[in-house]
A and B are shown apart, each in its own frame.
Chain A
């Protein structure tokens, strides 16, 4: 970039969205989570533990904040004017938002976390040195550090439990950062299958573990580039655009009709997860 180009086009450059320079041609994995369907049952979290070899750290370490729930259910209370306190519980399944402009990616000193061509925020365990800068810069705090050596010294999978570890991905050792991968091992398997058959992955062909187990079908996952994919239809229906940071819903007159939003959008992280707002009783 020459200096004149830089000076004249600086504001354009600043406004440019990362995927405008490198558009997703075949795949852009994205998710939507319907909070109205979510019952807070934690099945997604359990499935994630099983699928992704997450260590169950125990009560004490959990209380210290050393847990590894890549998919976590956050519970919030809205008890005003309710007869029974439990009615006010609201749930928010929180996982890595796979931001298109991820704050974690720019700060990693060794480039252990990167953006893939199919729109994932990847984590290279072998490259990670454990500076934890990515977690510091993550506004959602969805990155989990291996504070102890769980497979060996902590022995969280004693014999014969190690037999149930998923062979499709690694077991992480101490000092490494990890986070939700959108079940990248499943994505890669089905993408490879599709490629050998000379086609793209069909919608519904691949599911994330959390989506697979959700009893109410609150989680939709798929390829945003694919016009027939359910997730893309939902995004379109809610008028949520991946590449902008202020959605039509933010305008007041549309707020009542639209339910789709993305968390902390104003930080311009462009998350790949859209949430569908819970329907209020007043709105029904």
Chain B
């Protein structure tokens, strides 16, 4: 069996390679950063316009009250699940191939949650009153409505965000100490000194570290599953045709892992190229990642089919009409694009020759996420366009440029956060990669003097 990474890399070499990614960026970095900032500028401009003029500029209307903001919100929440999958679930399963790639996946989790959180606010008609959703002591004892899935959402996202930040940070402490020891002056030295919490690598510290890391991992897994189940409840708990589906929570969780894995493939290829991480982000690891993505894609496809089948054979004529509308009406091109990108295209990943073909994987992984974004949109909009009440059917509603601008800008915001992270913190876990080569290092150390002495 081929090894995930070359096992004769020296520990010092690992430090050197990874720390190199923290050095002054090349010009391309600044160019991309500027583009990301420009994208954020578009979104901020759109939001300011929407904030001052009113929600009407987003071109939603009275029967079609939710649109791209909620769709993109689910998309970003979904993206955040892959980090937990790779770090926590695979950590518990001792799948060592996760080690070189989980750090950036976890960062992705945190940053996509931060992006998703913004969409909740952008969506609100009275953004300035957003704190009403939180239970806070007030003189009139007015509480949020605990029956509402949106309140559950608020709790779920807040908990998930805080714990995934904690998980990311705790997992980074030994690496931060390496950074601290290798940098001798400047703000970085101060930052790493504070953040590494006096890490010296003693046995006691390692033991506490392991226990802490494992505890948070165990805490995070049910949390991640519940977060997307709760997001699914926003729809499953309502009575809209096309939303009122019992299988939504597992379907959403599968979709979340799916789009997250696809995003990891994309970022894997970018980081491997940009930081020259060929030694760590290797093709055997990519192969495993691609197979995982393929498996999840098939689970997602299965749950999708189940959803259609249960609507089709169900007794609810309105939901059935809505499904037919989705597949044949004005949304048909997007619906079938979603089926193609989400279910047909990933079949490619089953073939060995594509599993390590990086340029193809790069394009495919982006297209998979396009498909997953379309899926979220196809959950939201067609239900409003063709709901219970025929008089309010609106088949022509199209999101305005303000909505598209904010959605577009969110990708810039995510890119910005991620790029800053990659330059400030090590995006490959040094200490865990060292664990992967540890046995080999030991063996080399005790190499017998005479050949064949074993």
Find chain B residues with CB under 8 A from A133 CB.
Answer: 148, 150, 234, 238
Our pick among B55, B62, B238 for the contact of A65 (Cβ within 8 Å) is B62
Which of chain B's residues has its CB closest to A140's CB? B389
Instruction: Given A65-B64, A133-B150, A143-B62, check contact A127 B55 (CB 8 Å).
Output: no
Our pick among B54, B150, B239 for the contact of A147 (Cβ within 8 Å) is B54
- B144 on the interface (CB 8 Å rule)? yes
Contact A65 B63 (CB under 8 A): yes
Instruction: Given A139-B387, A139-B389, A174-B125, check contact A127 B142 (CB 8 Å).
Output: yes
Find chain A residues with CB under 8 A from B125 CB.
Answer: 128-132, 145-146, 174-177
**One of B126-134, B188-196, B351-359 at the interface:** B126-134
Which of chain A's residues has its CB closest to B380's CB? A136
Bound CA–CA A257/B387 (angstroms): 31
Contact A153 B389 (CB under 8 A): no
- The smallest beta-carbon distance between B81 and chain A, in angstroms, is 23
Instruction: Given A74-B391, A110-B133, check contact A145 B144 (CB 8 Å).
Output: no
Main secondary structure of the interface of B (DSSP, over half): loop
Contact B54 A107 (CB under 8 A): no
- A-B pairs under 8 A by CB, number: 137
Q: Considering only CB atoms and an 8 Å cut-off, how many residues of chain B contact the other chain?
A: 44
Bound CA–CA A141/B238 (angstroms): 14
Find chain A residues with CB under 8 A from B63 CB.
Answer: 65, 135, 141
Contact A106 B123 (CB under 8 A): no
Contact B123 A131 (CB under 8 A): yes
Contact A109 B238 (CB under 8 A): no
Find chain B residues with CB under 8 A from A139 CB.
Answer: 239, 387-389
- B124 on the interface (CB 8 Å rule)? yes
Find chain A residues with CB under 8 A from B126 CB.
Answer: 128-130, 174-176
Bound CA–CA A149/B128 (angstroms): 15
Our pick among B54, B239, B394 for the contact of A175 (Cβ within 8 Å) is B54
Find chain B residues with CB under 8 A from A211 CB.
Answer: none
- The smallest beta-carbon distance between A75 and chain B, in angstroms, is 9
Contact A264 B388 (CB under 8 A): yes
- B284 on the interface (CB 8 Å rule)? no
- Among A147-183, those with CB < 8 Å from B are 147-149, 153, 174-177
Instruction: Given A108-B145, A147-B55, A176-B125, check contact A103 B238 (CB 8 Å).
Output: yes
Contact B66 A136 (CB under 8 A): yes
Our pick among B54, B61, B145 for the contact of A111 (Cβ within 8 Å) is B145
20 additional contacts (CB under 8 A) given A94-B391, A111-B144: A65-B394, A67-B62, A103-B238, A103-B239, A106-B147, A110-B132, A110-B133, A110-B144, A128-B125, A128-B126, A129-B129, A129-B130, A133-B238, A135-B65, A136-B66, A141-B392, A145-B125, A174-B55, A175-B126, A176-B125
Chain A residues within CB distance 8 Å of chain B: 61, 64-67, 74, 76, 92, 94, 103, 106-111, 127-133, 135-137, 139-141, 143-149, 153, 174-177, 264, 267
13 contacts between A and B (CB under 8 A): A64-B59, A66-B62, A129-B125, A133-B234, A136-B240, A139-B389, A141-B387, A141-B391, A145-B125, A147-B60, A148-B53, A175-B125, A175-B126
